[in-house]
Amino acid sequence: MSADTADALLGAVDPSSLRPDQQRVLADLTELAGLVESAEPGFSRRVFSDAYRAGREWVRDRMRAAGLEAHIDPAGNVVGVLRGANSALKPLMTGSHTDTVHAGGRYDGIVGVLGGIEVARRLREEGITLARDLYVVDFLGEEANSFGVSCIGSRSIAGLLLPEHLERTNGDSALRLGDAMTGFGLDTGGALGQAWAPGSLHAYLELHIEQGPQLERSGKQIGVVTAIAGIERLMAAFSGRADHAGTMPMQGRQDALIAAAEAILTIEREACGAPIHGVSTTGRIESSPGSFNIVPDEARIWAEMRSVDASWLHGAKRRVAEDIAAGAALRGVETAIEWLNDQDPVAADPDVQRLLGDAADALGYTWEAVPSGAGHDAAHLAHLGPMGMIFVPSVGGRSHVPEEFTEADDITVGIHVLATALVAADRSERPLVAS
């Protein structure tokens, strides 16, 4: 550990006093992992489910036990506040989410929420009073869901949740997102009308598992996030002509599913040619009439492209739309593309990046700068103040699967860096640097 760096960051605070209680954190992880949808595979705790309600109540109880003032805010987020010496100062905020994808894992988002609670515990146990309030937040519905609206709670407090988002429907039942929120006991008027003002946060720091293989490959303990990828999501519909599968010659067909298959490969090729981090995924396909002996007349695909390079992402959106339409036209198939998500990349604040690197250095942990290919609540919180993220390694790079795993020692390191960075940020004015 660099004593000079630690002194510059923390003043009289002993960095070792901020080390988390690993066994307590692991016990919390295990207990929350038991609050899942029992009839579903993996660790499923989807937004608006009974298991999600139970998990949020558990989180609120844990916050209160840690000495936080806990409540549900108008956006539907579970919020715990550790009061500082001067509540008139701009507050600090940390947190993440406890909802999961279907058949997901037990670490995605959860490490950030439980890590924030543990930081508050350690501050109280060590008698450390921050100058400003610290908010620990479990944001509502971060994961992509059947309504097509992710990061519901963080969008809301950032003023980015729009009335049209609440009109989005669940494709299976035509249930509106607004109705689902109301049924969950939330006030949609509050979610739309009580955003925080831009610039109201001193800093937002989020701890998260990497969800990719880079840190494990490099052997680094910490990733300091440089930017959060932008996401373009689309639904492409293809209309051809149904014919007898045994008698219609191949050259005369207007096969909607073949046009859709070519579109999937078009989307893949586009990402493979990205100059820097670019990925694409087609995650859902439908076709009708769905019979072996009938040429498909209708098909739909749902896909996404991601990159931290805004220029490439915008160009890819245009090129993919043009290439899909041109390829389908050669087969006599009509196309219609609906863009479901248009989110630009968001850069982490440079001063916060430096602060996080300094915190890792002060504690003697190895780190590197990494982009985030996943979306995060932090992207929306950047509208409210300087934003930064801390990544810890994911074993095998696996995430959004039951096999998702991060070593206990890596979680401990991440929480230690988070605590150190929050204390340092509390002492700092803009720019948020140690020197």
Known binding residue 122? Answer is: no
CB 163 within 8 A of CB 179: no
- Tell how strand 278-288 and strand 203-209 pair up: unpaired
Question: What is the C-alpha separation between 140 and 377, in angstroms, rounded?
Answer: 10
Known binding residue 277? Answer is: no
Known binding residue 293? Answer is: yes
Cβ burial 169-192 (10 Å sphere, 16+ → b, else e): bbeeeebbbbbbbeebebebeebb
Nearest residue to 277 via CA among 303, 310, 304: 310
DSSP state at residue 49? S
Please report which helix (H) or strand (E) contains residue 19, including its range. none
Known binding residue 28? Answer is: no
CA 57 to chain centre: 21
DSSP for 226-237 reads EEE-EEEEEEEE
Residue 120: CA count within 13 A, CB half-sphere: 31
Known binding residue 46? Answer is: no
Count of other CB atoms within 10 angstroms of residue 326: 11
- Tell how strand 78-82 and strand 92-96 pair up: unpaired
Known binding residue 108? Answer is: yes
Sheet of 298-307, strands arranged across: 278-288, 298-307, 230-239, 334-343
Which amino acid is it at 100?
T
Count of other CB atoms within 10 angstroms of residue 89: 14
Known binding residue 286? Answer is: no
385: left (phi over 0), alpha (psi -120 to 50) or beta: left
Known binding residue 400? Answer is: yes
CB 117 within 8 A of CB 67: no
Which amino acid is it at 178?
G
- Token pair of 418 as six digits: 């988070």
- Token pair of 408 as six digits: 């206990």
| Binding site, annotated residues for Zn(2+) | 97, 108, 143, 208, 400
| Binding site, annotated residues for allantoate | 233, 293, 306
| Binding site, annotated residues | 97, 108, 143, 208, 233, 293, 306, 400
